Amino acid sequence: MLPASEWPAQTVTLNGTSSHLGAGLSGVHELHADRWLFVAYDQLNEALFEPAQPHEGTLGLVFVESTEKASRRPYHKQKLALLLANMRHFAVEMAAHYPVLYLSSGGTYADALEGVFGDSPLLCLEPAERELRIDLEPMVASGRLEVLPHVGWLTPHAWFVDSVGTEPPFRMDPFYRKVRTTTGWMMIDGQPMGGSYSHDADNRKPWKGEPDAPSPPTFDVDAIDREVEELIRTHHGDHPGHLDLAALPTTKEQAEASLDYGMACMTWFGPYEDAMSERSRTLFHTRLAPLLNLHRVLPMEAATAAMATDAPLNSVEGFVRQLIWREYVHHVHVATDGFRTLDVNRTEAVRGAGWGEGPHAVDGGHPNHLEQRNPLFPAYWGAPSGLRCLDANVAAVIEDGWTHHIPRLMVLSNLANLLDINPRALTDWFHAGFIDAFDWVVEPNVLGMGTFALGTAMMTKPYVSGSAYIHRMSDHCGSCAFHPKKTCPITRLYWAYLNRHRPAFERNHRMSMAMRNAAKRSDENKAEDEATFLQVSEALRLGQSLVTPDGDLRSFMM
């Protein structure tokens, strides 16, 4: 470790400064350790340090805030706030037990670490994000950074390989069964409790207002949180979204309270897992994903807690299945090097998620099985579309940085798919807009499941629907200018999508019934379906609403 006088100007320590973070770190330990562990932004749990503990001597922890990382995408203000406030609080919590060095860098994580540690050896835990692994790769190759196992996952990669293999098609079911049988979770005498591995059929009820949905918890905002909010307003004030750390847990105690809240939701989580409502954006969802992805709450803690509740089996199984899905997509992302090794159609994409003015980078090689090329429409950043389901869920993202998985899949991704939005543009938007989005989780979920950009590598068919599903599972249609059965364009967009991409689907047995029904539509209907697609796409591309300011449908929608 270099003396502080030799650190580059772009890298400064916050220890001992007038900041509340610096005050929390200063004077607890001397800045000396026999070995230093770089703690990444999403490794905020002391249990993860276990692989670094067997060595003799003192272990020190080093944290890095990277302005370059924060500016890489138009990250939602709440996402930046959640990550930075949790990392700062965790550093202070750990300072009672370890020497802690907290660095702020205008460059990358490698820039900060090399600037302080030079050729001195440094430890790190296997980064979850591919982006961070690539950033640190030169230090690993030179021997300056030793990578230790990340023990925060529920499952080893070997379980994935044993059950799924290393080549597509990848399927969740054999992996899920492998995890259940190996762990014994919800199993009796080698058989799944309730006679079935999945109880998804019991988890499809729309919510009509009863039972009462709980209000998400709010949290005390302390001095460290306020400093983070001020930092974001000052340096990232042009980023999208609302900023309010009272809506997010940032301390260990608040993370524990969030886990308790999630378990209190478990009784009704299952039945209403797929429901959508404007009266309660959260319904009975635990909202634990952001904390799980930062490892503030460990997946094993969440799984154990859920199985210890007295909630119905369908609720517990549904929640545990979500945890195992999280493992599955991580393994797929690692196995394919972020889908770079997949043999799939690829196209170029405009980066930047459609946020802000000015030119954005254009690069190629992005998975795009259906060769969908429309840009991300302004409606995804809040321009009114006139489609209540889309506008309400975009508002939720802008305000909260969060929706649960069904709006993500069956509204936000579904409509992007039906409108042939470039899958990478939509993925970039999810990555920037959601507080729980990291490359290993957002890319499989959007490229693989939400848009069918990977073809059948992860999914047997695309998750698309007309207005009927949204009408059945939500209350959006009740306040929409469009009638779900008579005038809503989403159903015509669905039929146009199937016929437009017929060559990609006609040999897919999971799509055979839908394709037969699409083919049976009259020539007149097919023409109107395609005209609807073209007119809606063009209006939304221009940022126009499909509904006039007076609440009437645009002439081309009549």
Q: Which CATH class is domain 346-557?
A: mainly alpha
* Residue 481 Cα to chain centre, angstroms: 31
Whole-number Cα distances in Å, 462 to 137, 389, 414: 35, 20, 9
Q: How far is CA 405 from the centre of its chain?
A: 10
Per-residue pLDDT, 9: 52
* Segments making up each domain of the chain, as ranges: 4-148, 157-214+265-331, 346-557
Across the chain, which has 558 residues, the per-10-residue mean pLDDT values are 58 51 56 90 98 86 95 96 98 94 93 88 96 97 96 98 96 98 97 96 95 96 97 95 97 98 98 98 98 98 98 98 98 97 94 75 90 96 97 98 98 98 97 98 98 96 97 97 96 98 94 96 97 97 93 75
Domain 4-148: state its class: alpha beta
Nearest CA to 288 out of 272, 265, 307, 270 is that of: 265
The per-residue pLDDT for 395 is: 98
Burial class (CB within 10 angstroms; exposed 0-12, middle 13-18, buried 19+) of 541: middle
CATH 1.10.10.60 fits 157-214+265-331, yes or no: no
Assess whether the region 4-148 and the region 346-557 belong to the same CATH fold: no
Cis peptide bond upstream of 214, omega within 30:
no
DSSP secondary structure, 16-76, as one string: TSSSHHHHHHTTTS-S--SEEEE--TT---GGGGGGGTTSSS-EEEEEEEEHHHHTSS---
